[in-house]
Structure 1
Amino acid sequence: MDDAALVHAWRSGDASAGERLVERHFPAVYGFFRHKVGGDVEDLVQRTFLRCVEARDAFRGESSFRTYLFAIARNELFGHWRRRGLDVDPDATASGVLDAVVGPASAIDARREYRLLVQALRGLPLDDQIALELMYFEELTGAEIAVVLGVPEGTARTRLRRARLALERSLAALDAAGEGLRVTTDDIERWAGAMRDAMRQERAARR
């Protein structure tokens, strides 16, 4: 049963349909928070699904249910940072906030390319990082990312183009800092694809 049918059944009183939606999307929501909030991931995942339950009837089906969940997750993320007294300007660089929350090394993956990609993403403005992660790792479209960010589609697509260029510059800066990189757009796409596959394997292993 697809998400739309499950949402309809859930609204009609089928609690098991809601449970299936949570089970289906839990790994993606967990992944959204994983490198952003340190040990508070489980709490924010629970908050996200709680808000989803509370706003169940507000979902009009204008986007996919998964996109709707990511929009709630983003709001919960920013609320979490504000409660901790952190600067959460969406256009501010992500690294200062994330270092304060998760530490500079907690997002490092085993493979050097993954580590460098995460490091470069964290050097971008917060919403740029979120937009690129959703594009690369969750394969959301520009229209879906617009819903998550709460902006017009054209604005989201412009942000994505700008963010991709900024990511290339960030990786080039790592090269200048002695990481020995010679990174192209194709390299970024390949690294992101490999990281996406690794994340999916990890999610499957948790089920």
Structure 2
Amino acid sequence: MPDKFTEDVVALLPALKRFALSLCRRGDLADDLVQITAERAFRARDRFDPATQLQPWLFRILRNAWIDTLRRDATRGEVVDIHESPQPDPLDSAAQTDDRLTLNAVRRAMEELPNDQRQVLHLVCIEGLSYAETAATLDIPQGTVMSRLSRARLALAKSVGIDRDPSR
């Protein structure tokens, strides 16, 4: 026989699902978060104070589960479904050889760039810093970051033989 706690948790499942969807924006993950929330709530039901409201308590559990998921995913890395990924190329494929040669050409071209352009290119394109973060890091104006980055990209493209002229 279901008790009041169980009935109240079940009644709040749609609200939990909506909250989970607002956090993760994926139906499958939202379902997982709701399930984790229900499991944790039932395990900790003896710690729930019936004088308080159940919904905020469950929302807090769900939010903590979401944070746990984010932390776990950040350390786990990218997850790829083996059945949905394309078959890998053979180890010594022509495509991999071309990629390796292009990467080496880009590395050599980057070494030839002036130091100010190379620094900006590295911070923005390799480290992923924003223009504002790069400007603050190098103590230069943001417009200078953009112009140095543009010149660096053009020089790299010319050096590795990439035609950057869209009219051709």
Q: TM-score range by the shorter chain?
A: 0.3 to 0.5
Who wins on radius of gyration, i.e. which is larger? Answer: 2
TM-score (norm 2): 0.40
The TM-score, its normalising length taken from structure 1, stands at 0.33
